[in-house]
A = this chain, B = another copy of it.
Amino acid sequence: MTSPAGVFAAALTPQKPDLSPDPQGLVRHCKNLLAGGCDGLSPLGTTGEANSFSVAERMALLDAIAASDIPPAKLIPGTGSCSLTDAVQLTRRVVEMGAAGALLLPPFYYKGVSDDGLFGFFAEIIQRVGDAKLKIYLYHFPQMTGLQLSLDLIARLLKAYPDTVVGLKNSSGDWANMEAMLKTFPGFRMFAGSERFLLQTLRLGGPGCISASTNVTAPLCADIYRNWRGADADARQERATRVRAVIEGFPAIAALKAIVARQTGNAAWTTLRPPLVRLTAEQERDLFQKLQAAGFALQAAAAE
């Protein structure tokens, strides 16, 4: 199997009016994303609201994807939980379905825990899953987890599990941190957590990005990825960054759902599970105006 690379979307999860996740809606959205320029998908991450769902709800979403014709080699689903046993169960399922990897958060309830404790958590999962096919992408998102995945911890995991711990999604938004990871661990597949850093990541040998906003910016990002060695790559990156900057000015997951609702004509897309809330009508108008000013096409991308 070739290693996953390119533009990945941290897929949004559509929800029914009773706030239950919509497995078939997720499958349709995933297919739209692959058709629209994504090289791969990370469903059930932060953007997919996975930690707001029960394990049974998350398993049903994974089951629907597994039963579809989406190629598992294009998938790095989120399997993280603060519960060790839940993380094991979800990670096992992702290995079984033949996914390219599992995107694994550190255990995010406790704060101020030691590297020994974080190492113990990942080691326990790897041993309990006990499958050579397991490929872990660590999920570094200190703004949500309140935890750091230090270079020391990564080095220790790479030494203990060189065939299993293969990469990382870096959502820190801190380029100095991404650069340090890319330079310290050549060959370690560190995806940028935002397309804002796509070109810089590719230039340092990284595989691509896994981003929330690629739910709507996949074509812009694919344009960078296909042409990143070209003379005009910086201009392509600037175009994508302008759109990303608009989305960052709003609660991002609600903003992305509002855009997909507008593009698909399916208002059900604006449903979010608390604590997330949909944009107000005024925020929506403001968002759409700013996107158009940034050159972003809001017309229907794919009818639903």
Contacts and interface: CB of A to CB of B under 8 A. Distances in A.
Contacts of A121: 274-275
A57 B85 contact: yes
A173 to B, nearest CB: 13
A109 B51 contact: yes
A116 interface: yes
- In the complex, the count of this chain's copies comes to 2
Tier of interface size on chain A: 35 or more
A268 interface: no
A159 interface: no
B275 A113 contact: yes
Interface in A50-86: 51-55, 57, 82-86
A276 interface: yes
18 contacts: A46-B109, A46-B110, A51-B83, A51-B109, A52-B83, A55-B55, A57-B85, A108-B109, A109-B144, A111-B143, A113-B275, A113-B277, A114-B275, A117-B274, A117-B276, A118-B274, A118-B275, A120-B274
Interface of A: 19, 46, 51-55, 57, 82-86, 89, 106-114, 116-118, 120-121, 124, 143-144, 146, 251, 273-277
